[in-house]
Amino acid sequence: MPLNSNESILDHYQAMELAVSQLLIEKGYFTESDMFAEIEAMAKRTSEIGAKVVARAWANEEFREALLVDGTEACESIGIVMGPTRLMVVESTEKVHNVIVCTLCSCFPRMLMGVPPDWYKSESYRSRVVREPRKVLAEFGTKVSLNTDVRVHDNTADMRYLVLPKRPVGTEGWSEEKLSALVTRDSMIGVRVIDNPAS
């Protein structure tokens, strides 16, 4: 397979990945085209899907409540295919600032945000955000007041987390479409907040 045509020597994990994927294909678990179709489907997902969910929750109180009770079901009710893991939505408020991490690997709500950013997978973020979250958040430009609790969510098992960020001030009455344009990937991970739009 010409997956590594630019590199003459495979590193340990590249060799292992190639060996395992070839074995699975040879044994008929899936075909090579299944694999590439899945990679393409994953690459097509972006944080725009998550932004739509957030905008809907801001604009529609009933949806917001349903989303906080059962994230998977609420997303499926608006046509988002969630796959095998289940979604837990955590709401940031004046009292609580939520931030997500996977300290063990790189679990991420891919069905809503696509592939995680490289920093999310870095050892530095994964080890530091549980230990000194306020310092890490400050490095992202997010200063959280000591009156607000910082709640870190470690994705260790079968749930995936999405932060419902605080709705910016001055967006009352905005359409879902206009709201969703404000929502950033980093705000749904919880490392940044959404600025109030310039009036």
Q: How far is CA 188 from CA 16, 42, 112, in A?
A: 33, 18, 10
Q: How many residues form the binding site for another protein (CB under 8 A)?
A: 23
Least Å distance, CB 171 to another protein, is 28
Q: Is 155 in the site for another protein (CB under 8 A)?
A: yes
Among residues 47, 75, 92, 102, the one annotated as catalytic is 102
Concerning whether 102 is annotated as a catalytic residue, the answer is: yes
Q: How far is CA 108 from CA 21, 153, 168, in A?
A: 22, 11, 24
Categorise residue 62: left if φ over 0, alpha if ψ from -120 to 50, beta otherwise: alpha
Task: Select the residue interacting with another protein from 45, 52, 153, 185 (CB under 8 A).
Answer: 153
Concerning whether 75 is annotated as a catalytic residue, the answer is: no
Q: Is 131 in the site for another protein (CB under 8 A)?
A: yes
Least Å distance, CB 88 to another protein, is 8
Rounded Cα distance between 99 and 45, Å, is 21
Task: Select the residue interacting with another protein from 35, 82, 159, 181 (CB under 8 A).
Answer: 159
Rounded Cα distance between 92 and 18, Å, is 41
Tokens 């709201």, located at residue: 179
Q: Is 88 in the site for another protein (CB under 8 A)?
A: yes
Alpha helix stretches (DSSP H) within 11-60: 12-26, 32-44, 47-59
Give the interface segment with another protein, choosing from 13-21, 46-54, 147-155, 172-180 (CB under 8 A).
147-155
Among residues 105, 122, 127, 175, the one annotated as catalytic is 105
Q: Is 128 in the site for another protein (CB under 8 A)?
A: no
The residue length of the chain stands at 199
Q: Is 70 in the site for another protein (CB under 8 A)?
A: no
Q: Contact positions toward another protein, by CB under 8 A? A: 86, 88, 103-104, 130-134, 144, 146, 148-159
